[in-house]
């Protein structure tokens, strides 16, 4: 089970760049990671005893919500974000989801360019929970001949 304090620390570090652009903390910084670990599918990328990345997935009917993908600033640029997105896609396919959805804040310009490079299509923009969000989706490609194991 992931260490909640490590997830909270990672979120603060990973979103620190964006926090300076916003008038309130980014949603992942104030998220309840105790609840996420209990109620959702939380994956971590570790190096030694350090958590360098996290992925939070929330199955909703036949859609997988990618609630959070975060990489520590020290590990950015090494492909870890890409690997976490690929993990999300494999899990969505394994769980027979039809698509992955995610959202980001409109001030996170890096994300607005990053997700389309990985096959995500913008589907809209709206204010939600006091944040100006940009919504994306990506169809899930079935991989019927592959078996994956993950959290239980």
Task: Provide the residue ranges of all domains of the chain, joining segments of one domain with +.
Answer: 4-101
- Rounded CA separation 108/33 (Å): 21
Q: State the chain's maximal CA–CA distance in angstroms.
A: 47
- Rounded CA separation 79/43 (Å): 16
141 DSSP assignment: P
Q: Identify whether the C-beta of residue 140 lies closer than 8 Å to the C-beta of residue 104.
A: no
Residue 94: strand, helix, or coil: helix
What pLDDT score was predicted for residue 148? 54
β-pair partners for 56: 42, 68
What pLDDT score was predicted for residue 143? 59
CATH superfamily of 4-101: Gcn5-related N-acetyltransferase (GNAT) (3.40.630.30)
- Residue 64, Cβ density class (10 Å: 0-12 exposed, 13-18 middle, ≥19 buried): buried
- Sequence-ordered alpha helix ranges (H) in the chain: 4-14, 16-19, 27-30, 33-39, 80-94, 109-117
Q: What is the mean pLDDT of each run of 10 residues along the chain (152 residues)?
A: 92 94 94 97 94 97 97 94 96 96 96 96 96 97 62 62
What pLDDT score was predicted for residue 81? 95
What pLDDT score was predicted for residue 1? 73
What pLDDT score was predicted for residue 152? 52
β-pair partners for 69: 55
């Amino acid at each position: 089970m992931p260490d909640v304090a490590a997830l909270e620390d990672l979120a603060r570090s990973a979103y620190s760049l964006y926090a300076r652009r916003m008038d309130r903390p980014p949603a992942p910084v104030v998220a309840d990671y105790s609840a996420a670990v209990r109620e959702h599918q939380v994956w971590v990328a570790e190096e030694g005893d350090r958590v360098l990345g996290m992925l939070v997935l929330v199955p909703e009917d036949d859609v997988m919500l990618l609630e959070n993908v975060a990489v520590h600033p020290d590990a950015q640029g090494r492909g870890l974000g890409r690997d976490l997105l690929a993990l999300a896609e494999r899990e969505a396919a394994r769980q027979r989801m039809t698509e992955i959805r995610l959202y980001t804040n409109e001030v996170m310009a890096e994300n607005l360019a990053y997700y389309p490079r990985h096959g995500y299509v913008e589907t809209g923009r709206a204010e939600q929970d006091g944040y100006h969000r940009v919504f994306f989706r990506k169809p899930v490609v079935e991989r019927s001949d592959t078996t994956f194991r993950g959290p239980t």
